[in-house]
């Protein structure tokens, strides 16, 4: 049915070949099929967003360190919920071109890290890291994270905002605050490790 506007004669022939049709039953006047969303579509979309955020984090590391997209990298994850990461690990491996995705409690030596949703991700690099440049980058990112945290704190400290905001908006803002706190902690640890 979707191809009918582009290939009307072929789709009309296929329409009549696929099933028994009446003489006036044409694909051009047939009703569109009904599509219903799966019951867990919100969860699936949230999982996909997390997977794509991880892929974007690995790609950002590639850009920062001038690594081409062809070279396979390793990714170590520090998380409390390994099952959530394993659910979309094959997709992340493929899209981020990872040779290995493993779990770790501590940062591997010479690894670049990024934080997403309270999880810390480490990309071990074979190259020498310019400590001064890495310190400047981490300090800049830390400054941004602190500013972001302060703006969310200010918003949540505003009684008028809290009184008028919907509960889901408040929950989202509180989640942003928790994520910012986790990111600040991870960045401070990374700076301390340098």
Residues 27-45 have a mean pLDDT of 77
Residues 73-102 have a mean pLDDT of 90
> What is the CATH number for 180?
1.10.287.380
Q: What is the mean pLDDT of the chain?
A: 85
Does residue 33 surpass a pLDDT of 80? no
Question: Can you give the chain as a three-state secondary structure string?
Answer: CCCCCCCHHHHHHHHHHHCCCCCCCCHHHCCCCCCCCCCCHHHHHHHHHHHHHHHHHHHHHHHHCCCCCCCCEEEEEECCCHHHHHHCHHHHHHHHCEEEEEECCCCCCCEEEEEECCEEEEEECCCCCCHHHHHHHHHHHHHHHHHHHHHHHHHHHCHHHHHHCCHHHHHHHHHHHHHHHHHHHHHHHHHHHC
Q: Which of 71-75, 90-94, 107-111 has the lowest mean pLDDT?
A: 107-111
Q: Where is pLDDT greater, at 168 or 15?
A: 168
Q: Say if residue 93 is in the same domain as residue 22.
A: no
Q: Say if residue 92 is in the same domain as residue 46.
A: yes
Considering 125, 147, 173, which residue would you say is the last residue of a domain?
125
In this prediction, residue 81 has a pLDDT band, given cuts at 50, 70 and 90, of confident
Does residue 194 surpass a pLDDT of 70? no
> Domain span at residue 17?
1-35
Does residue 128 surpass a pLDDT of 60? no
Does residue 3 surpass a pLDDT of 90? no
Q: Where is pLDDT greater, at 10 or 39?
A: 10
Q: How many domains does the chain have?
A: 3
pLDDT of res. 53 = 93
pLDDT of res. 127 = 59
pLDDT of res. 148 = 94
């Amino acid at each position: 049915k979707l191809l009918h506007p582009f290939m009307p004669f072929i789709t009309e022939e296929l329409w009549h070949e696929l099933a028994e049709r009446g003489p006036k039953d044409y694909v051009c006047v047939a009703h569109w099929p009904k599509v219903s969303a799966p019951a867990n579509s919100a969860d699936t979309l949230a999982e996909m967003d997390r997977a794509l955020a991880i892929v974007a984090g690995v790609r950002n590391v590639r850009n920062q360190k001038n690594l081409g997209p062809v070279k396979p990298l390793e990714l170590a994850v520090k998380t409390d919920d390994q099952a959530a990461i394993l659910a979309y690990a094959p997709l992340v491996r493929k899209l981020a071109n990872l040779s290995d995705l493993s779990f770790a409690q501590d940062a591997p030596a010479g690894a670049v890290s990024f934080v997403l949703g309270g999880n810390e991700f480490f990309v071990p690099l074979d190259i020498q890291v310019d400590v001064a440049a890495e310190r400047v980058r981490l300090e800049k990112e830390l400054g941004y994270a602190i500013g972001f945290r302060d703006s969310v704190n200010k918003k949540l400290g505003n009684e008028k905002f809290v009184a008028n905001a919907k509960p889901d908006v408040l929950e989202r803002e509180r989640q942003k605050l928790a994520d910012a706190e986790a990111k600040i902690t991870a960045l401070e640890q990374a700076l301390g490790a340098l």
